Amino acid sequence: MLETVHSTFESGDAYIEASPPAPRPSRAQAEDAVRTLIRWAGDKPEREGLLQTPARVVRAYEEWFAGYAADPAAVLSRTFDEVGGYEDVVVLRDIELESVCEHHMAPIRGVAHIAYLPVRRVVGISKLARLVDAFARRLQIQERLTSEIADALESSLQPRGVAVVVEARHECMSSRGVRKHGSLLVTRSFRGVYREPGPRDEVMALLRAARA
């Protein structure tokens, strides 16, 4: 049983003792939940075409939400110091991104562009793509996803600057609700020297070249 959330007030300040997280459901419980949703949708999970669907959905969830088991710091833990004196910007553009909207659990698909200004050490480019996946393969909103990628790069590499741009389409907007197709959400996050107008304009010119 979850502990009760306690709230007390002292001198006008609130103190909240949060309940511990609930234990993760078993695979069988997860499959039962899928069967419930199938029934709610109006179909029968017992019919032949749907018999294996709960197991398939749970396996798919293991892939779609693999980011919860990933450690972003570990992804960036191996760096390289032998850069031959290179001190200019490192840019990786058009990193494919797939995520899931936490509000409607609908797909988010797009690309991320990453730039950082190294200080003596760099990280392998495949690790930048893995970093994007570590955060994208979770229930997300794009704004937080963009900040999380930038924060991880700044914390692990301690570069002079970080710039992250994410461009994505959200099926929660195109397949339901207002049903607007083709809309592209663009989010940006800057750290270090890229908070300053001059360096920011320079790095944005490099990232915009992805569309050329």
Active-site annotation, residues: 101-104, 142, 170, 172
Tokens of 150: 């930038």
Vertex 179 angle, CA 173 and 182, to 5°: 75
Instruction: Answer for the pair 85, 78: CB distance below 8 angstroms, yes or no.
Output: no
Residue 80 to residue 137: CA distance in whole angstroms: 27
- Residue for token pair 């892939």: 63
Cβ atoms within 10 Å, residue 121: 13
- For CA atoms 149, 111, 204, 116, give the dihedral sign: positive
- The string over 124-156, giving b where at least 16 C-beta atoms fall within 10 Å of a residue's C-beta and e elsewhere, is eeebbbbbbbbbbbbebebeebbbbbbbbbbeb
Residue 117 to residue 78: CA distance in whole angstroms: 17
What residues contact 25, with CB distance under 8 A and at least 6 apart? 33
- Nearest CA to 167 among 112, 107, 96? 112
